[in-house]
């Protein structure tokens, strides 16, 4: 009798998974141990091997679609069976006959298209980021940095160095230095230089902080350290 293939519990604790890719196609003959599909969960993508031999009669869950663990995802026919064996197999398993998934069609010319469904790890990432933003108290600290000396030093370094150095390299170095050495200082925007208006290149930076871990005073102190280091780029070379 035809066998109903169900969504496997690919990993412990998983209650839902998605079919990332069907390796076996309808009408294809498979043996025990052949890979039927790649199953995507919140944590990993695993290969699902066939537990019975036969011919793939119908795929019930399309690629990219999610369903609960234990839900039917395909029907495997025994030798000599045809499509008329699919409905009885589903009924015997207590599953209502499912329609054949329609093939994906390309959007018409000029059409915007339809939103792409999220599944597995991508869905988990969206959920976790949303939870983080809505449940964790955030605050922001912004500063303006004069980076003329940084740009000049970068140009000098790149003239002699075999490997080019980017502005991001200096930023990362300043971030690391500020985490190690946070001097006392007051965060302020520099508008005057030697009592005169100064024209220069300014970079605006913003720190997003978790208020459960640090308070505003610590964030401001860290930002002051970052500004000091980014405006004195030679410190990145020491």
Task: Write down which residue in 37, 69, 92 finishes a domain.
Answer: 92
pLDDT digits (tens, 9 = 90+) for 141-155: 888 888 888 898 889
H helix intervals, the chain? 86-92, 120-135, 148-160, 167-180, 216-231
Choose the most confident range, by mean pLDDT, from 38-47, 53-62, 94-103, 187-196: 53-62
| 146 and 210 share one domain | yes
Q: How many other C-beta atoms are found inside a 10 Å radius of the C-beta of residue 62?
A: 16
Q: How many Å apart are CA 141 and CA 206, to the nearest integer?
A: 6
| Number of structural domains found in the chain | 2
- Note down the domain range covering 82: 3-92
In the chain, how long is the greatest CA-to-CA distance?
93
Segment 156-193, tens digit of pLDDT = 888 887 888 888 888 888 887 887 766 443 333 344 45
In 10 A of CB 230, how many CB atoms?
26
The residue among 68, 92, 116 that closes a domain is 92
- Report residue 42: phi and psi, to 5°: -65, -20
Considering the domain architecture, whether residues 69 and 145 belong to the same structural domain is answered as no
Residues 149 and 86 in one domain: no
Domain assignment present for residue 123? The answer is no
Q: Is residue 161 part of a domain?
A: yes
Q: Same domain for 87 and 146?
A: no
Residues 143 and 232 placed together within one structural domain of the fold: yes
* pTM of the complete model: 0.47
Query: Which residues are paired to 18 by β-bridges?
Result: 40, 66
Q: Give the span between the Cα atoms of 24 and 67, in whole angstroms.
A: 19
DSSP 8-state code for residue 43:
S
Q: What is the CATH number of the domain that holds 206?
A: 3.30.559.10
- H or E segment and range at residue 161: none
Pair 144, 74 in one domain: no
- In-domain check, residue 22: yes
Calculate mean pLDDT across residues 12-40: 89
Residue in this structure with the two tokens 């039927």, named with its chain if needed: 36
Q: How confident is the model at residue 198 (pLDDT cuts 50, 70, 90)?
A: low
**Is residue 4 classed as helix, strand or coil in its secondary structure?**
strand
Beta bridge partners of residue 193, listed in sequence order:
196
Is 143 found in the same domain as 225? Answer: yes
- List Cβ neighbours of 202 (8 Å cut-off, separation of 6 or more): 144, 145, 146, 147
Q: Does residue 36 surpass a pLDDT of 90?
A: yes
> Residue 10 belongs to a domain with what CATH number?
2.40.50.100
78 and 153 in a single domain? The answer is no
Q: Is residue 88 part of a domain?
A: yes
Give residue 186's pLDDT.
32
Q: 208: which 2 tokens?
A: 């997003």
Residue that wins the pLDDT comparison between 195 and 225: 225
Tokens encoding 70: 């234990």
211 and 157 both lie in a single domain = yes
C-alpha 121/C-alpha 134 separation (Å) is: 20
Same domain for 228 and 142? yes
Q: Are residues 142 and 217 in the same domain?
A: yes
Q: What is the DSSP string of 92-120?
A: HTT-PPPPPPPPP-PPPTT----PPPP-H
Mean pLDDT of 45-58: 91
Question: Which of 92, 113, 147 lies at the terminal end of a domain, its last residue?
Answer: 92
Query: What integer pLDDT is reported at residue 29 of this predicted model?
Result: 93
């Amino acid at each position: 009798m035809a066998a109903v293939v169900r969504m496997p519990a690919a990993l412990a604790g998983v209650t839902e998974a998605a079919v990332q890719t069907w390796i076996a196609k309808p009408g294809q003959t498979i043996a025990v141990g052949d890979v039927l599909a790649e199953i995507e969960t919140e944590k990993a993508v695993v290969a699902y091997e066939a537990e019975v031999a036969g011919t793939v009669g119908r795929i019930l869950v399309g690629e990219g679609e999610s369903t609960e663990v234990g839900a039917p995802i395909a029907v495997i026919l025994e030798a000599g069976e045809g499509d008329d064996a699919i409905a009885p197999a589903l009924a015997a398993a207590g599953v209502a006959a499912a329609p054949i998934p329609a093939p994906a069609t390309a959007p018409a010319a000029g059409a915007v298209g339809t939103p792409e469904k999220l599944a597995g790890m991508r869905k988990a990432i969206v959920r976790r980021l949303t939870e983080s933003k809505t449940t964790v108290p955030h605050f922001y600290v912004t500063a303006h940095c004069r980076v003329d000396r940084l740009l000049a030093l970068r140009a000098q370094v790149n003239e002699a160095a075999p490997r080019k150095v980017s502005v991001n390299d200096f930023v990362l170095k300043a971030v690391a230095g500020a985490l190690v050495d946070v001097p006392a200082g007051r965060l302020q925007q520099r508008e005057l230089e030697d009592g005169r208006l100064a024209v220069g290149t300014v970079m605006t930076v913003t720190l997003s902080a978790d208020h459960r871990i640090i308070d505003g005073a610590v964030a401001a102190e860290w930002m002051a350290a970052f500004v000091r280091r980014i405006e004195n780029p030679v410190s990145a070379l020491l």
